[in-house]
């Protein structure tokens, strides 16, 4: 199904622009009018990370006239495996500024607007206003729901993408363009349980997958802006990079959707962190009063070496993570073994008097497993806040981070 172009054409293209975009101009579906629409378009990209990097570069190369970048983070060395808009010399720089410079190098005819701030309920509506389209490259559920709701209230279509390890998804949410068009909440009415879906920082992502999904997002953006083709409105594109398999599923508007359904309950921006939850209530309760710092752990390890303290330090990460770095004296028992119950057989008996100390990469997974261990009777069990990341940063910087 086709939709009207989101943008009116600009008055003209310069001679230099005609030369630059000539391969677009000779496509009958795009032509001079379509390219003028792109020149007149204003697109906001949320995130200059894995998805944002290819999306920003291809939007710029395509000749989108105004590109906004909403990004508050700084470039880290671990980003460079997939965030191709940044380079070695950009490490430590704000991502939004690094991305701006790369865009202008790729296409000096583009106007870049930098929003170097974290999106939240206080600024999201003001930042979104004035853009024709939003490309969502966020990596967490709280921000995705906020983007969906703000875009809905402002009647701005947006292109969504998601990546994890070898799997990617993409869709277009545009209830303002058609009554039957779904929103993100129609696809995902509720966020997954806390800790169920790891972030890319926890679970990893194949770098080139970002290009696959990011380019799909730009493809959909160009179709929407110029009014060509059949956009992925009401469709979910799923990509399995390992099997090289593409699937396309139909997504229908949910009449019970809290935002766009028949009986609306979400009438304004909500507390998205609370709605999604970083960790489960059980994990939060377990961690309260049972969290130690890495400096406390360092002291405890010295006492254990001297024989004045007895405890087991359990690393609940995956084996491949354990190979990257580790806290000396830890034993590896992945989180999955706690979830299926087999890990309890590997721990000292509850009545042995041996304390259980748990850690992961950042403290999220260890908080979840702490709740399981305390529920099994290990009342004095604790976990390490900040995990191995904090250990490397504060105690042993000779180890690599990831």
Q: Looking at the structure, do residues 231 and 316 belong to the same domain, yes or no?
A: no
Examine the pLDDT at 195 and tell me if it is beyond 70. no
Structure tokens at 396: 């042993």
Q: Which domain holds residue 341?
A: 281-394
Q: How does residue 279 score in pLDDT terms, banded at 50, 70 and 90?
A: confident
Q: Mind telling me the catalytic residues?
A: 200, 360
Q: How many domains does the chain have?
A: 2
Q: Looking at the structure, do residues 141 and 240 belong to the same domain, yes or no?
A: yes
Examine the pLDDT at 194 and tell me if it is beyond 80. no
Q: Looking at the structure, do residues 114 and 182 belong to the same domain, yes or no?
A: yes
Give the pLDDT confidence score for residue 314 in this predicted structure.
98
Q: Looking at the structure, do residues 123 and 170 belong to the same domain, yes or no?
A: yes
Among 261, 276, 291, give the residue marking a domain's end: 276
Q: Looking at the structure, do residues 245 and 308 belong to the same domain, yes or no?
A: no
Could you read off the pLDDT of 296-335 as tens digits, one per residue?
A: 999 999 999 999 999 999 999 999 999 999 999 999 999 9
Examine the pLDDT at 222 and tell me if it is beyond 90. yes
Q: Given phi > 0 = left and psi -120 to 50 = alpha, else beta, which region is 226?
A: alpha
Assess if residue 400 is contained within a domain: no
Q: Looking at the structure, do residues 210 and 238 belong to the same domain, yes or no?
A: yes
Among 276, 295, 314, give the residue marking a domain's end: 276
Q: Looking at the structure, do residues 198 and 243 belong to the same domain, yes or no?
A: yes
Assess if residue 199 is contained within a domain: yes
Q: Looking at the structure, do residues 37 and 162 belong to the same domain, yes or no?
A: yes
Q: How does residue 58 score in pLDDT terms, banded at 50, 70 and 90?
A: very high
Q: Looking at the structure, do residues 232 and 379 belong to the same domain, yes or no?
A: no
Give the pLDDT confidence score for residue 196 in this predicted structure.
65
Q: How does residue 402 score in pLDDT terms, banded at 50, 70 and 90?
A: confident
Q: How does residue 193 score in pLDDT terms, banded at 50, 70 and 90?
A: confident
Q: DSSP string covering 88-143, please?
A: GGGTTSBHHHHHHHHHHHH-TTSEEEEE-S---TTTHHHHHTT-SEEEE---SHHH
Q: Looking at the structure, do residues 238 and 321 belong to the same domain, yes or no?
A: no
SS3 332: strand
Q: Looking at the structure, do residues 188 and 240 belong to the same domain, yes or no?
A: yes
**CATH code of the domain in which 181 resides:** 3.40.50.720
Could you read off the pLDDT of 110-149 as tens digits, one per residue?
A: 999 999 999 999 999 999 999 999 999 998 999 999 999 9
Q: Looking at the structure, do residues 118 and 213 belong to the same domain, yes or no?
A: yes
Region 254-282 average pLDDT:
90
On whether the CB atoms of residues 55 and 49 are closer than 8 A, the answer is no
Examine the pLDDT at 199 and tell me if it is beyond 90. no
């Amino acid at each position: 199904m086709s939709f009207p172009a989101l943008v009116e054409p600009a008055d003209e293209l310069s001679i230099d622009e005609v030369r630059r975009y000539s391969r677009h101009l000779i496509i009958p579906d795009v032509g001079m009018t379509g390219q003028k629409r792109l020149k007149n378009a204003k697109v906001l990209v949320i995130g200059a990370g894995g998805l944002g990097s290819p999306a920003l570069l291809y939007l710029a190369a395509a000749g989108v006239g105004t590109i906004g970048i909403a990004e508050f983070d700084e470039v880290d060395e671990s980003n460079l495996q997939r965030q191709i808009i940044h380079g070695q010399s950009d490490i430590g720089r704000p991502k939004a500024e690094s991305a701006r410079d790369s865009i202008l190098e790729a296409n000096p005819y583009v106007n870049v607007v930098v929003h170097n701030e974290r999106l939240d309920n206080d600024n999201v509506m003001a930042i979104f206003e004035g853009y024709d389209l939003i490309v969502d490259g966020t990596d967490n559920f709280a921000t995705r729901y906020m983007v969906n709701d703000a875009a809905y209230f402002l009647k701005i279509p947006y292109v969504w993408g998601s990546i994890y390890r070898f799997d990617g998804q993409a869709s277009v949410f545009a209830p303002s363009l058609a009554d039957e068009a779904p929103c993100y909440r129609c696809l995902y009415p509720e966020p997954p349980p806390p800790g169920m879906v790891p972030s890319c920082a926890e679970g990893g992502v194949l770098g080139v997958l970002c290009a696959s999904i990011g380019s799909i997002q730009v493809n959909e953006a160009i179709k929407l802006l110029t009014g060509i083709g059949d956009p992925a409105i009401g469709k979910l594109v799923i990509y399995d990079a390992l099997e090289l398999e593409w699937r396309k599923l139909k997504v229908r508007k949910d009449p019970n959707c809290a935002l766009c359904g028949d009986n609306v309950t979400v009438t304004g921006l909500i507390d998205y962190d609370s709605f999604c939850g970083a960790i489960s209530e059980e994990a939060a309760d377990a961690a309260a009063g049972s969290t130690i710092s890495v400096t406390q752990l360092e002291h405890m390890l010295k006492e254990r070496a001297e024989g004045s303290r007895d405890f087991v330090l359990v690393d609940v990460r995956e084996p491949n993570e354990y190979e990257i770095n580790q806290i000396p004296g830890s034993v590896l028992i992945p989180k999955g073994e706690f979830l299926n119950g087999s890990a309890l057989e590997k721990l000292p008996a509850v009545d042995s008097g041996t304390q259980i100390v748990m850690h992961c990469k950042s403290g999220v997974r260890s908080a979840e497993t702490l709740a399981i261990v305390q529920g099994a009777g290990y009342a004095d069990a604790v976990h390490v806040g900040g995990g191995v990341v904090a250990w490397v940063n504060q105690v042993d910087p000779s180890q690599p981070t990831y």
